[in-house]
Amino acid sequence: MKRRSIVASFVAVLTLAGAILTGCSTTQPAASPQQGGTSQSQVVNVYSDRNYDTDKKLFESFTKETGIKVNLVEGKSDELIERLAREGKDTQADLLVTADVGRLFRAKDQGLLQTATSDKLFKNVPENLRDKDNQWFGLTVRARVLVYSKDRVKPEQLSTYEDLTDPKWKGKILVRSSSSVYNQSLLASFIAVNGEDKAKAWAKGIVDNLARDPKGADRDQAKAVIAGEGDIAIMNTYYLGLMLNSADPEEVKVAKQLGVFFPNQNTTGTHINVSGVGVTKAAKNKDNAIKLIEFLSSDKAQKEFAEANFEYPANPTVQPSDLLKSWGTFKPQSINLTKLGENNKKAVEIMNQVGWK
Ligand code: FE
């Protein structure tokens, strides 16, 4: 690999000590970014809710290739968005990275992002995985699938998200609470695909068939299936990948007893969401920010970016990992992901109306 000699580059990770990996976000309050200096300085400041070692390694590779230093501030997405809003034009942040389109949409909606124009990005990130005004770009794709007990459920019994509301699954469905933006985005996609009335009937049907009041995160639903509390969990694919590769043997054991099913393959497709990134409205290092997104969407980075967290690459020229390939290919919903943000408020309203806790 060609190494430039200008700087001994490094990534300054300004997260608090003891950060704990909790899915896509940390529980740590965000620290202050290093001063970016003038617009000429070779730096890019990132606010991110993806607390993954892979991201940090990729930032290091970016610095090695370009000489542009990456300053990273980690935090929960809502806190980072609030912080961007509070800091206004004085913010040091050039990029916002979040693990869900709903949050990127929220940032855009609040006027915190700006359009990024780049032929490389337009080539690397398909149109349906980026904002219609190019204010955010998907970097990794996650599918929200059905995970089932291989002992008690045959894949032939499964078909669609809609089928989960059939009385035959009464007391068998496990899914986390309506405060999860993943579920909000799932329902938002149904509003886009099927209209509001059908989306509401579906949400009501899920509540009626729940095995228990929603609690825990995605991995807890998988564990509850194996504990016999229910038969089918609605969850994101990468959590199963994380469990299969976990340092905790119990998680591995649970995951091995579970099957993955991509619903709606003969109808509207499986729901997908993205982890993505947008250039902040007040970015002082816009060129460097765009260079970093270009790098993260490149073939080389996409492979690492997606594989380490068992996600699907956003860049269609990059193959998914062997584990993901072993689950088979699938047809995703064909809506533009902007819809997930546009319909978020309505989805939350519906969940409240039908009593999805
Ligand atoms: Fe997650």
Per residue in 234-250, pLDDT tens?
999 999 999 999 999 99
Residues 115, 48 share a domain: yes
Percent of the chain with pLDDT over 90: 83
Contact 236, 144 (CB under 8 A): yes
Q: With respect to residue 3, please indicate whether it lies within any of the assigned structural domains.
A: no
Which domain covers residue 209, as residue numbers? 142-271+330-354
253 alpha carbon – ligand 1 mean position (Å): 21
From 44-48, 226-230, 302-306, the region with the lowest mean pLDDT: 302-306
138 alpha carbon – ligand 1 mean position (Å): 15
Could you give the number of structural domains in the chain?
Answer: 2
- Please say if the pLDDT value at position 345 is more than 80: yes
Angle of helix 101-109 relative to helix 77-87, nearest 10 degrees, comes to: 20
Q: Which long-range contacts link 116-124 to residues 24+ away (Cβ below 8 Å)?
A: 116/278, 116/279, 116/286, 116/289, 116/290, 116/293, 118/290, 118/293, 118/294, 120/294, 120/297, 120/298, 121/290, 121/293, 121/294, 121/297, 124/294, 124/297, 124/298, 124/302, 124/314, 124/315
Query: Is residue 222 classed exposed, middle or buried when 0-12, 13-18 and 19+ CB atoms within 10 A define those classes?
Result: buried
User: What pLDDT is recorded for position 41?
Assistant: 64
Q: With respect to residue 185, please indicate whether it lies within any of the assigned structural domains.
A: yes
37 alpha carbon – ligand 1 mean position (Å): 33
340 alpha carbon – ligand 1 mean position (Å): 16
Q: With respect to residue 133, please indicate whether it lies within any of the assigned structural domains.
A: yes
Query: Is residue 208 classed exposed, middle or buried when 0-12, 13-18 and 19+ CB atoms within 10 A define those classes?
Result: middle
Residues 149, 135 share a domain: no
99 alpha carbon – ligand 1 mean position (Å): 7
- Please say if the pLDDT value at position 37 is more than 90: no
143 alpha carbon – ligand 1 mean position (Å): 11
Residues in a beta bridge with 73:
47
218 alpha carbon – ligand 1 mean position (Å): 8
3-state SS of 180-208 is CHHHHHHHHHHHHHHCHHHHHHHHHHHHH
30 alpha carbon – ligand 1 mean position (Å): 19
User: What pLDDT is recorded for position 152?
Assistant: 95
CA atoms within 13 A on the CB side of 178: 22
Q: With respect to residue 5, please indicate whether it lies within any of the assigned structural domains.
A: no
Residues 262, 208 share a domain: yes
Q: 321 vs 8, 94, 131, 272, 310, CA distance in Å?
A: 32, 30, 26, 17, 7
Q: With respect to residue 156, please indicate whether it lies within any of the assigned structural domains.
A: yes
DSSP-derived letter for residue 26 is -
User: What pLDDT is recorded for position 280?
Assistant: 98
From 30-39, 70-79, 324-333, the region with the lowest mean pLDDT: 30-39
162 alpha carbon – ligand 1 mean position (Å): 23
40 alpha carbon – ligand 1 mean position (Å): 36
54 alpha carbon – ligand 1 mean position (Å): 15
Residues 162, 303 share a domain: no
- Please say if the pLDDT value at position 6 is more than 90: no
H or E stretch covering 345: helix 344-354
64-84: per-residue pLDDT in tens?
Answer: 999 999 999 999 999 999 999
Residues 344, 213 share a domain: yes
Residues 187, 68 share a domain: no
8 alpha carbon – ligand 1 mean position (Å): 33
238 alpha carbon – ligand 1 mean position (Å): 8
24 alpha carbon – ligand 1 mean position (Å): 4
| Interatomic CA distance for residues 342 and 132, integer angstroms | 12
Token pair, residue 88, equals: 């206004």
**Full DSSP string of 41-60:** SSEEEEEES---HHHHHHHH
User: What pLDDT is recorded for position 305?
Assistant: 83
Q: Could you tell me the pTM of the whole model?
A: 0.84
Q: With respect to residue 195, please indicate whether it lies within any of the assigned structural domains.
A: yes
∠ CA 31-46-285 to the nearest 5 degrees?
120
Contact 191, 209 (CB under 8 A): no
181 alpha carbon – ligand 1 mean position (Å): 10
Residues 346, 313 share a domain: no
Quick check: helix, strand or coil at residue 210? strand
Residues 155, 71 share a domain: no
Residues 24, 77 share a domain: yes
| Interatomic CA distance for residues 181 and 194, integer angstroms | 19
Q: Is the model more confident about 342 or about 21?
A: 342
CA 326 to chain centroid: 21
Residues 297, 263 share a domain: no
CATH number at residue 343: 3.40.190.10
331 alpha carbon – ligand 1 mean position (Å): 21
Residues 252, 167 share a domain: yes
User: What pLDDT is recorded for position 118?
Assistant: 97
206-228: per-residue pLDDT in tens?
Answer: 999 999 999 999 999 999 999 99
Q: With respect to residue 222, please indicate whether it lies within any of the assigned structural domains.
A: yes
36 alpha carbon – ligand 1 mean position (Å): 30
Residues 261, 174 share a domain: yes
Percent of the chain with pLDDT over 70: 89
| Interatomic CA distance for residues 144 and 338, integer angstroms | 17
